[in-house]
Structure 1
Amino acid sequence: MATKKSTLGKGLSALIASSEMSGTDSPYKEKFDIEKISPNPYQPRMNIDPAELVEIADSIRENGVIQPLIITKNPDGPNYYIIAGERRFRASKLAGLKHVPVVIKDSSPQEMLELALIENIQRQDLNPLEEATAFKQLQDQFGLTQTDISKKMGLSRVAITNKIRLLALPSAVQEYVLNQDLSEGHARALLGISDDSSLVAAANIIVKKKLSVRETEELVRKINFGKDKAKNERIEFDHRTRKALERISERLGYTTRLTRMSKGGKLTIRYLTNSELTDLLKKLAE
């Protein structure tokens, strides 16, 4: 895993920096009753490693909670929901703390999901499917477009599109991704297989044989075109052609594939839903 960033991320750092950290009306509370705090119902992270919580709890016993939790009032009850700091909250309870430092912020359900996403993404804590599920929730429940989400998360629209497409994988393959048996690269390669039974069978082979992403891409080619045909059709593109394909994919926001055939070839643009087809046709007509 890449080195974790020390910053809180744009959303969280701005949130804390804008708060007056002194005075009786301050949103910052040095000692807040931990029993009044509940987990974020919009928390995108599905799994938290118990061993990781034990490590954080040990650190909290030694040094206390250095970074305050960000919480918001539950409009339908007496408790407060966590916006950011889910692991610190759980570890603090594990460490036996009765009070924790907090910053109280007025927040809508959409903001609760967005800020929790920012915290987890910038700390590289989320599984690709957890990110995809949260992005889809922002899209379906709160009406955000993929462009809106990309701006809020600081990611390209293509990255958002590719994440959401992972949700089209069969549940058995999604489990492999959630359990980190398959990487996002493996999963994206598997999306090139059209029928679910072949896709699941391929995923089982990849996990069993511990295939690399490149080997997975080759396996997908063989499944789609047949082993012998795949050998004949394999093509090594020159640098200029690869760059052109990358620019096409970047501009359209959809995966493109160039295939050499016995006579000529074909350029394939893959989409998964009718709405994606509408979006694609609109872009091609521009």
Structure 2
Amino acid sequence: MDEGNPTRRRTGDRADAPSGGRRGGLGRGLSSLIPTTPVPVAATATSPLTVPIDAVEPNPYQPRGTIHPDHLETLAESIRQHGVVQPLVVNLSPEPGRYVLIAGERRWRAARLAGLDTVPVVIKEASPQHMLELALVENVVRADLSPLEEASAYRQLIEEFGLTQASVAQRVGRSRVSVTNTLRLLAAPDGVQAALAGGEITEGHARALLGLGTSADQLVGLRHVIDRGLSVRQTEEMVRRWLDSDTDRSRADRPAGRDVEELRLEDRFRGALNTKVAFKRRGPGKGGTLTIQYYSDEELDALYRRLNGEDVW
């Protein structure tokens, strides 16, 4: 079938996925990863074929978790008018008469939503690693992955397929530093990752918060960012001042050991006051100090209102 001809419609089928926003393009595309040497004609074809849409299965290595319903409906409407102009790239399934998507999942889902019976495909050979790489490149080029989805795909290439960060960077057309910074997002505590996935903060906010030494500090910093609507630059400045305050306290003045109860109390004060606090005990039964950090006059006023129920000024 000519790839420009519309394909036949079907009835009743709907897409089953939601997707994310765009984040920018790359210099390399799928052509850098799809093999140029044709595979045996008996097994595959190098020109578009028409196959039943129900014979195509999603890529099990697809890194993207969601497709935005509005984006999918827009593409489905275009497909209703013009058909699937660009063929899907598929691999032969071990099950006769079935195919596994390598690239084009959004087109496949939109074609289902548009009610097509058949879709055009190009069959290529691909190993599991190659299928992940192809899906990853397609999504990164089109900016369809969230930062955490991209980081998880990088980690899978490294842990499951033994690639180095430099190899991953070369395959997806990013710098090694960019891959390293994206992978660092997976080290953030669950609360920070949830805020990033939910759109409450950006990738830049999350990377800045990772500069804080502990997960507890990062979660306190996260509350500051969300409650005060801080920009990435303001978050970076908050982290810098936070770390400066740590440096200014001499380690010699700190107790050699911290018991579990003291750490628990410190964490509860952080949660209650929504800011950084630090205990310094002089010894059993001898009292000590509780240091409460604030980073602006607005935060001081908020702390005072928490403690006293009225404005400080």
TM-score, with structure 2 as normaliser: 0.65
Where 1:15 maps in the other structure, the secondary structure is: coil
Q: Is the 8 A contact 1:19 1:28 kept in 2?
A: no
Where 2:100 maps in the other structure, the secondary structure is: strand
Listed as ranges, the gaps of 5+ residues in structure 2 are: 1-21, 250-313
**2-structure distance, mates of 1:23, 1:63:** 31
- The counterpart of 2:178, out of the listed 145, 159, 162, is 159
- Map 1:156-235 to 2 at 5 A: 156-226=175-245
- Map 1:9-20 to 2 at 5 A: 9-12=28-31, 15=34
Corresponding position of 1:143: 162
**C-alpha displacement of 1:185:** 1.2
Where 2:34 maps in the other structure, the secondary structure is: helix
**C-alpha displacement of 1:157:** 1.2
Q: Is the 8 A contact 2:191 2:219 kept in 1?
A: yes
**1-structure distance, mates of 2:132, 2:145:** 13
Q: Is the 8 A contact 2:46 2:123 kept in 1?
A: yes
Distance 1:2 1:195, change over 3 A: closer
Where 2:30 maps in the other structure, the secondary structure is: helix
**C-alpha displacement of 1:81:** 1.5
Corresponding position of 2:60: 41
**C-alpha displacement of 1:17:** 7.0
**1-structure distance, mates of 2:247, 2:45:** 70
**C-alpha displacement of 1:27:** 3.2
Corresponding position of 2:133: 114
Corresponding position of 1:261: none
Distance 1:77 1:110, change over 3 A: farther
TM-score, with structure 1 as normaliser: 0.71
**C-alpha displacement of 1:227:** 9.2
- What is the RMSD computed on CA atoms of the aligned residues? 2.9
Where 2:48 maps in the other structure, the secondary structure is: strand
Where 1:66 maps in the other structure, the secondary structure is: coil
Listed as ranges, the gaps of 5+ residues in structure 1 are: 231-286
Same amino acid, percent of matched pairs:
44
- AA of the residue aligned to 2:239: V
Distance 1:199 1:85, change over 3 A: same
Q: Deviations over 1:96-131 (max 9, x none)?
A: 111001111111000000000111111121111111
Q: Deviations over 1:13-47 (max 9, x none)?
A: 77387669x99963333421110111111111112
**C-alpha displacement of 1:229:** 5.7
**2-structure distance, mates of 1:128, 1:2:** 9
Structure with higher helix content? 1
Corresponding position of 1:95: 114
**2-structure distance, mates of 1:157, 1:78:** 41
**1-structure distance, mates of 2:229, 2:238:** 12
